[in-house]
Structure 1
Amino acid sequence: MLVKTYGSAVYGVDALTITIEVNVSSGTKYFMVGLPDNAVKESMFRVASAIKNSGYHMPRQRILVNLAPADIRKEGSAYDLAIAIGILAASRQIDPETLEDYFLMGELSLNGDLQRIKGALPISLQARNANFKGFILPKENANEAGIVNNVMVYGMGTLLDVINFFKHKAKPLPVIIDTSARFLKQINSYEQDFSDVKGQENIKRALEIAAAGGHNVILIGPPGAGKTMLAKRLPTILPPLNLQEALESTKIYSVAGKLTSSNALMTERPFRSPHHTISDIALVGGGMNPQPGEISLAHNGVLFLDELPEFKRSVLEVMRQPLEERKVTISRARVSVEYPSSFMLVASMNPCPCGFYNHPEKECICAPGIVQKYLSKISGPLLDRIDLHVEVTPVNFNALSSSREAEKSSEIRKRVMKARTWQEKRFADDEYVHFNSQMSPNRVRQICKIDESGQALIKKAMEKLGLSARAFDRILKVARTIADLAGSMKIEQEHLAEAIQYRSLDRDSWAG
Structure 2
Amino acid sequence: MRGEVCRAASIALTGVEGTVVTVEAAVSQQLPGMAIIGLPDTALAEAKLRVRTATTQAGMPLADRFITVNLSPAALPKQGSGFDLAIALSALAASQRLPREQLSSIAHLGELSLDGELRRPAGLLTATVAARELGFRRVMVPERGGAEAALVPDIEVIAVRDLAGAVAWHRGEPEGWRVLPYAGEDTEAGAHSSSASASDDTLSAAGDIADIVGQPDAIEALTIAAAGRHHISLLGPPGAGKTMLATRLPTILPDLTPDEAIAASSIASIGGAPLTGLVQRPPFESPHHTASKMALIGGGSNSEVRPGAITRACHGVLFLDEAPEFPRSVLDALRQPLESGHIEIHRSRIRTSLPARVQLVLAANPCPCGYAGSPDTVAQCSCTPNVRIRYLQRISGPLGDRIDLRLAVRRVPSVMLNDIEAPAPTSGELRERVTQARAAAAVRLEDTPWTTNGEVKGPWLRTTQLRLPRKDTVVLDQALGRGSITLRGYDRVLRVAWTIADLAGLDRPSRNEISRALVLRGGDLL
How many residues matched?
502
Matching of residues 152-163 of structure 1 within 5 Å: 152-163=156-167
C-alpha distance 178-106 of structure 1, shift in aligned 2 (>3 A): closer
Per the alignment, do residues 158 and 207 of structure 1 end up closer, same or farther by CA in structure 2, a change over 3 Å counting?
A: same
Structure 2 residue 87 is the aligned partner of structure 1 residue 83: yes
**Counterpart residue number, 2:428:** 410
Q: 247, 256, 264: which is aligned to 1:232? A: 247
Change over 3 Å in CA distance of 1:89–1:458 after alignment to 2 = closer
CA contact (8 A) 1:448 1:476 kept: no
1:252–1:336 Cα change, 3 Å: same
Deviation at 1:200, TM superposition (A): 0.8
Distance 1:246 1:98 in 2: 32
For residue 182 of structure 2, the aligned residue among 177, 182, 185 is 177
Q: CA-to-partner distance for each residue in 1:305-348, whole Å, 9 max, x for gaps?
A: 11101111111111101111111111122221112211111111
Structural mapping, 1:33-112, within 5 Å: 33-96=37-100, 98-112=102-116
The answer (yes or no) to whether the contact 2:161–2:176 under 8 Å persists in 1 is no
Distance 2:358 2:136 in 1: 34
What one-letter code is carried by the residue in structure 1 that aligns with 2:288?
Answer: H
What is the TM-score normalised by the length of structure 2? Answer: 0.88
CA distance in 2, matches of 1:209, 1:277: 30
Would you say the 8 A contact 1:12–1:338 is kept in 2?
A: yes
Equivalent-residue separation in structure 1 for 2:130 and 2:367 (angstroms): 51
Counterpart pick for 2:284 among 250, 254, 271 = 271
Q: Secondary structure at the match of 1:478?
A: helix
CA distance in 2, matches of 1:40, 1:408: 51
Shift of 1:63: 0.7
Q: In 1, Cα distance between the equivalents of 2:355 and 2:135?
A: 26
Residue 334 (structure 2) pairs with residue 319 (structure 1): yes
Residue 34 of structure 1 aligns with an amino acid whose one-letter code is G
Q: Distance in 2 between matches of 1:258 and 1:45?
A: 23
1:445 Cα offset (Å): 1.6
Q: CA deviation at 1:436?
A: 1.9
* Superposition TM-score, scaled by structure 1 size: 0.90
Write the distance in 2 (CA, Å) between the matches of 1:228 and 1:91: 62
How far apart, CA to CA, are the structure 1 residues paired with 2:408 and 2:75?
A: 55
Q: Which amino acid aligns with 2:287?
A: P
| Percent of aligned pairs with the same amino acid | 37
**Hey, what's the Cα distance between the residues in 2 that align with 1:193 and 1:237?**
9
1:437 to 437, 454, 464: 454
1:283 and 2:283 matched: no
Q: Which amino acid aligns with 2:318?
A: L
Deviation, structure 1 residue 89: 2.8
Post-superposition shift, 1:483?
2.2
Partner of 1:452: 471
CA contact (8 A) 2:22 2:104 kept: no
Kept after mapping to 2: 8 A contact 1:142/1:261: no
1:172 partner letter: W
Equivalent residue number for residue 241 of structure 1: 256
Residues 1:25 and 2:39 are matched in the alignment: no
Report whether the alignment pairs 1:481 with 2:484.
no
> What is the DSSP-based 3-state SS (H/G/I as helix, E as strand, rest coil) of the residue aligned with 2:82?
coil
Q: Give deviations 1:344-388, integer Å, cap 9, x for gaps.
A: 111111111111223312333323312222111110111110011
1:310 maps onto 2:314 in alignment: no
Contact 1:357 1:363 in 2 (8 A): no
TM-superposed deviation, 1:231? 1.2
Helix, strand or coil at the partner of 1:233:
helix
2:207 matched to 1:207? no
Q: 2:160, 2:176 within 8 Å by CA — same for their partners in 1?
A: no
Bigger drift between 11-20 and 200-209 goes to 11-20
**CA distance in structure 2 between the aligned counterparts of 1:253 and 1:410, rounded to whole angstroms:** 26
Structure 1 461/364 Cα, relative in aligned 2: closer, same or farther at 3 Å?
Answer: farther
Q: Which residue matches 1:14? A: 17
Partner of 2:194: none
1: CA distance between counterparts of 2:45 and 2:485? 58
Residue 467 of structure 1 pairs with residue 485 of structure 2? yes
Q: Residue 129 of structure 1: CA displacement?
A: 5.3
- What SS is found at the alignment partner of 2:425? coil
User: Structure 2 vs 1, CA of residues 391 and 152 (structure 1 numbering), >3 Å: closer, same or farther?
Assistant: same
Deviations 1:409-459 (A, max 9, x none): 22212222222223222222212x22222222312323352443651x335
CA deviation after TM superposition for structure 1 residue 243, in Å? 0.7
Aligned counterparts of 2:391 and 2:165: Cα–Cα separation in 1: 61
1:495 paired to 2:513: yes
SS in 2 for 1:147: coil
Take 1:99 and 1:453, find their aligned partners in 2: how far apart are those partners? Answer: 65
Name the counterpart of 2:392: 375
Alignment of 1:354 with 2:369, yes or no, is yes
What corresponds to 1:510 in structure 2? none
Q: Which one-letter code corresponds to 1:261 in the other structure?
A: L
Amino acid at match of 2:185: S
Shift of 1:69: 2.8
Of 406, 410, 414, the match for 1:393: 410
| SS of equivalent to 1:330 | strand
Taking a change above 3 Å as real, the CA distance of residues 105 and 230 of structure 1, as seen in their structure-2 partners, is: same
Give the alignment's Cα RMSD to 1 decimal.
2.5
Q: CA 1:452–1:169 in structure 2 vs 1: closer, same or farther (change >3 Å)?
A: closer
- What is residue 147 of structure 1 aligned with on the other side? 151
Question: Which deviates more from structure 2 when the two are superposed, residues 325-334 or residues 166-175?
Answer: 166-175
Shift of 1:476: 2.5
Q: Quote the Cα distance in structure 1 between the aligned partners of 2:141 and 2:469.
A: 58
Provide, for residues 227-262 of structure 1, a one-character-per-residue CA deviation record: whole Å limited to 9, x for no partner: 1111112122223211111112222223x2355232
Q: Does 1:363 align with 2:379?
A: yes
Q: 1:133 to 1:375 in 2, by over 3 A?
A: closer
Question: Among residues 274, 279, 287, which one is paired with 1:260 in the alignment?
Answer: 274
Q: 1:502 to 1:362 in 2, by over 3 A?
A: farther
2:122 maps to: 118
Q: Is the 8 A contact 2:226 2:249 kept in 1?
A: yes
